[in-house]
Amino acid sequence: MSWEHKTVFLCVLLVYITSPLEGAEEREKCAELTNTTWLGYRQQRVKLQVQYLLLTRRNMDCAQMFNQESLTQQPSYFNTSLPTKVIIHGYRALGSKPSWVKELAQALLQVQDVNVVAVDWVYGASFAYNLVVENYKEVALQISVLINQLQKHGCQLESFHFIGVSLGAHVAGFVGTLFEGRIGRITGLDPAGPMFKGADTYDRLDPSDAQFVDAIHTDSDYFGISIPVGHVDFFLNGGKDQTGCVSSRFPTIFFFFPVYGYVICDHMRALHVYMSALNGSCPLVGIPCSSYEDFLKGNCVHCDMFKGTCPTIGLSENCGLTKSSVPKEQKLFLLTTSSPPFCAHHILLQLVVSPLGKSAEVQVTLRSQNLKTEQSLKLQTTTTVYSTVLAHPVALCETESIELKNTGVRFYRQGDIHIKSVCLLEFPSLRREEPLCVNNINIRRVASWSHDFVQVCGI
């Protein structure tokens, strides 16, 4: 017996021994996504297999197999009078089933009473990436057949909200193309980039695919797409390297180390941020800006183009925008923390210094109880005004102190620094607030300066 057969036999034996007989019949009734581990290395083409799983508030913990005949069979949990969320996974390199599908479905059901249909095309998504891309439109065609049948039973196209992850976002986009953009909404979670960045809009997700299209970008320099594909596109931390993820730029001799860093962390951060946003514990607000560089410089701090209402990640209709103010391919930027709920407060730091005789470096620290945010500023002899955006874990009104430290003396003899003013402003704000400023600060060599704030939240 080969080692492969021995391994399979042992796994089956262990499952049989450790699984209690009680409840086995009930578990068999619960549908599961396909798991075709290791098929990712196969190159040959096979017949595409697409199946659907249904979860509702009546069966949140036990998915039901679903198809066009299910509506005429009893019992069916599908309610034609409710909106329908359609989840579409993406490329599955090793054929393993996406474990996050049930978690996302349950998060959606916690917020809204809807039908959640999960599209299972794992078998067709587990080959060489270029072959899978060739299949994605066929997946969309099969989904469109199901949508047509649901329409015959009373479902309205505008009641469908497709949520596509990676390549699944483009599958959703082509479904929208087949229905000429009449689907209610498509949300793309880090839509796939390879083979799509230069594609025609007919072949990728774009704003014409639904009445409203939003996208979250977290890995646009590798597996995600770097261009806007929706009415509004949220670029988290610039859309590339995410806080708390392994840097993709460090070389390594280990194969799985970069795979974890690129795919699981950066690429999938869009999904985890979206799921976190669903519970509404804190708003994830996007700021319109032409580039991430301009955003970090503090050149974009308001949402006047949206009549003062900043778009938010989540299920709110049109991301909180009125239909009259919805643009197309508008880039939105925001900073996040490294863990749920991922929300950060945007603090604009503005520093005005007296002319310097030589370059210097200042470290700015905001403190709030046991939390702190640090930012280093390199001061040049040709510039006296500096602006940068900080991601602070709490609101500015809860910030207890600010500290400035002269840090350049480790490398050369640096003189005193005279700071005319240091100002802090939290944005975006519903009202035009004045920045919090401290004036006339002198920082000597090998020294630091600090100032305590009076907490003013709620005033």
Q: Catalytic residue positions?
A: 166, 190, 267
Q: Among 59, 97, 104, which Cα is nearest to 78's?
A: 59
**Interatomic CA distance for residues 338 and 242, integer angstroms:** 7
Place of tokens 């196969």: 42
List the 436-443 sheet strands across, edge first.
Answer: 385-392, 345-353, 417-427, 436-443
